[in-house]
Amino acid sequence: MAHLTKGQRLPEKRNFGSSFPFDDFGQLDGVRGEGDVNTSVISGAYGGFSNTWGAQTMVYSAASFVDWPFSRDELEPDYRAILSSIPYAGERDDLEEYFPLWGPADPLPPLSDNATRILERYRRHRLQVRRHGVILGKSRLALKGSSCVSCGLCLTGCPYSYVYSASHTFDDLILSQRVEYVAGFAAEEVGEEGERPYVVAREIATGARETFRADRVFLACGAIGTTRLVASSLEMWSQPIHLQESAQFLMPLASIRGSKRLSQDDSFTLNQFNILMPFDEAGRDLVQIHGYPYNKSMDEALPAVLRTATTRFLGAMVLKHLTVGLGYLPSWWSPGFDVTIERPVAGAHSARVLITSDSKGDLLAAEKLRAINGRLMCVAPYLGVVPVVPMVSLSPPGKSYHYGGSFPHANDPVEGRETDLLGRLHPWRNVHLVDASAFPTVSATTFTLTIMANAHRIARAVAGSARG
């Protein structure tokens, strides 16, 4: 199966030209990969990777929870609580059959020419498209849709802060004095004395170590950051820990009719529509492809031969017909990868992280990609858009940023390998893993909203028990 070569990969996103969400402030010390894996896997930024995310905000389908120790119904109040506290834009359409809109949503800003045409053709030929197992609908985004001015700058940094970032929530919490934010520290150890938890953190500027104590500790360093912190604290050295990843694939989609003009103005440049492919009746085996319209960074992604002064018009012609599809496979069809935590080398502060992936899962992923291509080829005449099959390729392990499951929730957790329903790993009672490290599986639906909802569920339960 084709993997994206370094030259073909999507460029790392920037926020107002800055790479700060990916920069190493010390949190990436000792993180290395074997083979072609992504190693920018822990963010040290305030707000983390949510500073650059795609803002896709969808609940998991109900059937996604069949492998989980609780149902979507149990998570529904938490999904609703999150959706009522972040900006939310989306519209009623066929995607509701799997992903309900919970709570009031803003309408989306106007879509690009290509996205509008594809969705209109879907409505016109809906039955022919659906009979091939393809469903389309508009994106659902953590975006202030009603305020959006369609300046098209979403992917390089919204000047109005209309695209949600976790930093917005922290700003509010800090401003209202509900949270004391201690910046400039890297957590190095977590544990409990008696049942009282603590975190040992190193001040990055001075190297001084400080111990923070609390009644409860909630870990949300991102799946790999949390895995490192937990595994090193419990001295789980040199044991490969498998992380499940919803593998990402790039699927360029060529429209038969192109846009009239090449501009990112008058629209928004986040994902505009979703192509959903159910592979089972219950709605567990779902594949999703997000359709991104033209944005200026695509100019630079063109082959050099289409960027010269004389060939630029050809490049523009290509881009007028192009929609970038970013697809996701569920974790059970994806290769995933292992993370091995090693003792820090002498003089270093952080435990080392080795990320490795074998190609065992590639065959299954390749088989599924062929099925996806097949379905899209069948509906191409109806949607007026064709997948550029030779360019469909899987991103390297870790690149989707949709990974987790190192210490999955379980009803009857295996000691040291699984967490209980409150994200607690034996022997801890008051340390809770609340990020995707506790996910039993990773569906192809983008998972940030589910991480937030699950963290809310745990916090709600803990707060409830504290109140008695």
Q: Which residues contact another protein by CB under 8 A? A: 62, 73, 94, 96-98, 100, 123-127, 130-131, 133, 278, 280-281, 283
- Nearest Cα to Cα of residue 410 among 371, 382, 439, 385: 439
- Is the CB of residue 31 less than 8 Å from the CB of residue 25? no
**In terms of CB distance, is 98 or 268 closer to another protein?**
98
**In terms of CB distance, is 280 or 300 closer to another protein?**
280
- Is the CB of residue 154 less than 8 Å from the CB of residue 163? yes
For the CA atoms of the chain, what is the radius of gyration? 22
The single residue listed with the structure tokens 């592979």 is: 279
Q: List, in order, residues 6 or more apart from 308 with CB less than 8 Å away.
A: none
Q: How far is the CB of 100 from another protein (least distance, A)?
A: 6
Residues forming a β-bridge with 341: 353
Which DSSP category does 22 fall into?
T
- Is the CB of residue 335 less than 8 Å from the CB of residue 362? yes
Q: How far is the CB of 303 from another protein (least distance, A)?
A: 40
Q: How far is the CB of 72 from another protein (least distance, A)?
A: 10
**In terms of CB distance, is 282 or 348 closer to another protein?**
282
Pairing status of strand 352-356 against strand 31-34: parallel
Q: How far is the CB of 197 from another protein (least distance, A)?
A: 38
**In terms of CB distance, is 123 or 213 closer to another protein?**
123
Q: How far is the CB of 17 from another protein (least distance, A)?
A: 43
- Is the CB of residue 69 less than 8 Å from the CB of residue 440? yes
The two structure tokens encoding residue 304: 């050099």
The single residue listed with the structure tokens 């967490």 is: 419
**In terms of CB distance, is 73 or 180 closer to another protein?**
73
Q: List, in order, residues 6 or more apart from 379 with CB less than 8 Å away.
A: 128, 129, 132, 134
Q: How far is the CB of 126 from another protein (least distance, A)?
A: 6
DSSP state letters, 13-37: P-BTTB-TTT--SSTTTTEEEESS-
**In terms of CB distance, is 294 or 382 closer to another protein?**
382
The amino acid at residue 401 is Y
**In terms of CB distance, is 67 or 76 closer to another protein?**
76
Q: How far is the CB of 131 from another protein (least distance, A)?
A: 5
